[in-house]
C-alpha cells in the first residue's frame, strides 16, 4: 500500500490533483445479447479491466484478498495484481476508509469495499467531511477519485442493522455521486464509470442480485464499455403509467408491469441507475406521456428518493405562492 503511495502518480509529471474526465460510451440500445452474465461476474470483470488499464486503481476492504471477497466480487484479483493493489484490512472501517481517502488525495484511485453499507456508518466522517467536501473547499483544486462500494439494502436472513438502504442518505450529500445498478450491464458499465470519475462515488450494489444472471451484448463485454453517470434507462416502454425504481426493485417493478399488462394497463418502467445526479429529463418526458407516476424503493417511507422525484412534479405550496417556479 505505502509503496504505491510513494510512487509518482502521474506519468510525465502530471499533477495528482488534475481532474480527469471519465470516458463514456455513446448512448446505445444494448439489446443484442450474446451471453448470460451474473452481476458478481460483471462487477469482477469491471474491476479487473480497470485495474489492468490503470495502475493507480487499487482495491481495499475486509476479506477482499485471500478470501476473494465475502461475495466473491474480487475473485482472482489478489493472485493477478498482488497484495499492494488488493489489500485485506482489519475490521476498522474508519481506519481503512481514511487511508483510502488520503490515497485519493495523492492521486491514486482507491476502490473501498464495505462488507455491507451499514458498516459505512463507521466511516461516514471520512466519506462526507473528507471525500465529498474537498473539491468544493479547495475551489476545485483537489479531486478525490475514490469509489465506496458494497451491498446495500435488505438481504435474506439478516438483522435490521444489516438492512438499511442508504441511497437517499448519501444522495442528499453535495459532492457525492450515487449509483445503484440493477442488471449485469448496469453493474459493469456503471462501476467502470465510477472508477474513472474524478469525484467520490458511492456505489450501492445489492446482495440478492449478485447471483442473478442477465443477458449482455458484445458491446457490454467490450473492455471500452462504460455507461454515463446521470442517465436512466427505460427498461419497458408504456403509455398509461410511469414506474421509477432502482437496484433490485427494478425487477419487482417489471413483474408488476407484466401483471398490469394482463389487466390492459401499459406501464413504463424506468431504471434510475443514477440516484445523484438524477435523470430528471427522462422521468419528465415519461410522465408527460403517461400522466401518472409511481415511485418504488425499499428505503424508509419518509425523505426517500421518491420524494425527490415527486417534488419535481408537485412542488411545495410556498414555491408556487412565491412565484419561484
Are the CB atoms for 146 and 110 separated by under 8 Å? yes
The per-residue pLDDT for 197 is 97
Residue 323 lies in a domain: no
User: In CATH, what number is assigned to the domain containing residue 139?
Assistant: 3.40.50.970
Residue 228 lies in a domain: no
239 and 187 belong to one structural domain: no
Tally of residues, the chain: 325
User: In CATH, what number is assigned to the domain containing residue 305?
Assistant: 3.40.50.920
Is the N-terminal amide bond of 301 cis, ω within 30° of 0? no
- Going by pLDDT thresholds of 50, 70 and 90, the confidence category of residue 305 is very high
Residue 9 lies in a domain: no
Q: Which of 63, 162, 212, 308 is catalytic?
A: 162
Separation CA 197–CA 227 (nearest Å): 11
Residue 126 appears among annotated catalytic residues: no
58 and 151 belong to one structural domain: yes
- Going by pLDDT thresholds of 50, 70 and 90, the confidence category of residue 316 is low
Residue 174 lies in a domain: yes
202 and 246 belong to one structural domain: no
The answer for residues whose C-beta is within 8 angstroms of residue 305's C-beta and 6 or more apart is 167, 168, 171, 246, 272, 275, 278, 295, 297, 299
Beta bridge partner(s), residue 149: 113, 203
189 and 256 belong to one structural domain: no
Nearest CA to 280 out of 242, 252, 249 is that of 242
Q: Which cell numbers hold the place of 224? A: 471500452
- Going by pLDDT thresholds of 50, 70 and 90, the confidence category of residue 222 is very high
Q: Could you tell me the maximum CA-CA distance found in the chain, to the nearest angstrom? A: 64
81 and 215 belong to one structural domain: yes
Question: How many domains does the chain divide into?
Answer: 2
Residue 32 lies in a domain: no
Residue 23 has pLDDT above 60, yes or no: no
What average pLDDT score do residues 185-203 get?
98
185 and 217 belong to one structural domain: yes
Domain termination site, one of 186, 221, 256: 221
285 and 214 belong to one structural domain: no
250 and 169 belong to one structural domain: no
Q: At which residue does the C-alpha cell 424508509 appear?
A: 300
- Going by pLDDT thresholds of 50, 70 and 90, the confidence category of residue 297 is very high
47 and 193 belong to one structural domain: yes
Residue 191 lies in a domain: yes
Residue 1 lies in a domain: no
112 and 185 belong to one structural domain: yes
Tell me what the pLDDT averaged over the chain comes to: 88
The 10s digit of each residue's pLDDT in 72-120 is: 999 999 999 999 999 999 999 999 999 999 999 999 999 999 999 999 9
100 and 147 belong to one structural domain: yes
Q: Which residue range is the domain that position 207 belongs to? A: 37-221
247 and 207 belong to one structural domain: no
Q: Which of 49, 50, 62, 93 is catalytic?
A: 93
The answer for residues whose C-beta is within 8 angstroms of residue 266's C-beta and 6 or more apart is 238, 239, 240, 241, 260
The 10s digit of each residue's pLDDT in 156-190 is: 888 888 889 999 999 999 999 999 999 999 999 99
What average pLDDT score do residues 295-301 get?
91
The per-residue pLDDT for 208 is 95
- Going by pLDDT thresholds of 50, 70 and 90, the confidence category of residue 1 is very low
Terminal alpha carbon distance of the chain: 51
Domain termination site, one of 187, 221, 255: 221
Nearest CA to 180 out of 165, 195, 197 is that of 165
Amino acid at each position: 500500500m505505502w509503496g504505491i503511495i510513494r510512487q509518482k502518480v502521474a506519468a510525465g509529471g502530471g499533477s495528482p490533483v488534475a481532474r480527469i474526465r471519465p470516458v463514456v460510451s455513446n448512448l446505445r440500445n444494448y439489446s443484442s445479447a450474446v451471453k448470460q452474465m451474473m452481476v458478481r461476474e460483471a462487477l469482477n470483470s469491471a474491476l479487473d479491466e480497470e485495474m489492468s488499464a490503470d495502475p493507480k486503481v487499487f482495491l481495499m476492504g475486509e476479506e477482499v484478498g485471500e478470501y476473494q471477497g465475502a461475495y466473491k466480487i474480487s475473485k482472482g484479483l489478489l493472485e493477478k495484481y498482488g497484495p499492494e493493489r488488493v489489500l485485506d484490512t482489519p475490521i476498522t472501517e474508519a481506519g481503512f476508509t481514511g487511508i483510502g481517502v488520503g490515497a485519493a488525495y495523492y492521486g491514486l484511485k482507491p476502490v473501498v469495499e464495505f462488507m455491507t453499507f451499514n458498516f459505512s456508518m463507521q466511516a461516514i466522517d471520512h466519506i462526507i467531511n473528507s471525500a465529498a467536501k474537498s473539491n468544493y473547499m479547495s475551489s476545485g483544486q483537489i479531486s478525490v477519485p475514490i469509489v465506496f462500494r458494497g451491498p446495500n439494502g435488505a438481504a435474506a436472513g439478516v438483522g435490521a442493522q444489516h438492512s438499511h438502504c442508504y441511497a437517499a442518505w448519501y444522495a442528499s450529500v453535495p459532492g457525492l455521486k450515487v449509483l445503484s445498478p440493477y442488471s449485469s450491464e448496469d453493474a459493469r458499465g456503471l462501476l467502470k464509470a465510477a472508477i474513472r470519475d474524478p469525484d467520490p462515488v458511492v456505489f450501492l450494489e445489492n446482495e440478492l442480485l449478485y447471483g442473478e444472471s442477465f443477458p449482455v451484448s458484445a458491446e457490454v463485454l467490450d473492455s471500452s464499455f462504460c455507461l454515463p453517470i446521470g442517465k436512466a434507462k427505460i427498461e419497458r416502454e408504456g403509455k398509461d403509467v410511469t414506474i421509477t425504481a432502482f437496484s433490485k426493485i427494478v425487477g419487482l417493478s417489471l413483474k408488476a408491469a407484466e401483471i398490469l399488462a394482463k389487466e390492459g394497463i401499459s406501464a413504463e418502467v424506468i431504471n434510475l441507475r443514477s440516484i445523484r445526479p438524477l435523470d430528471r429529463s427522462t422521468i419528465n418526458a415519461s410522465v408527460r406521456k403517461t400522466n401518472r407516476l409511481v415511485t418504488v424503493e425499499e428505503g424508509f417511507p419518509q425523505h426517500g428518493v421518491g420524494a425527490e422525484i415527486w417534488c419535481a412534479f408537485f412542488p411545495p405550496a410556498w414555491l408556487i405562492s412565491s412565484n419561484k417556479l
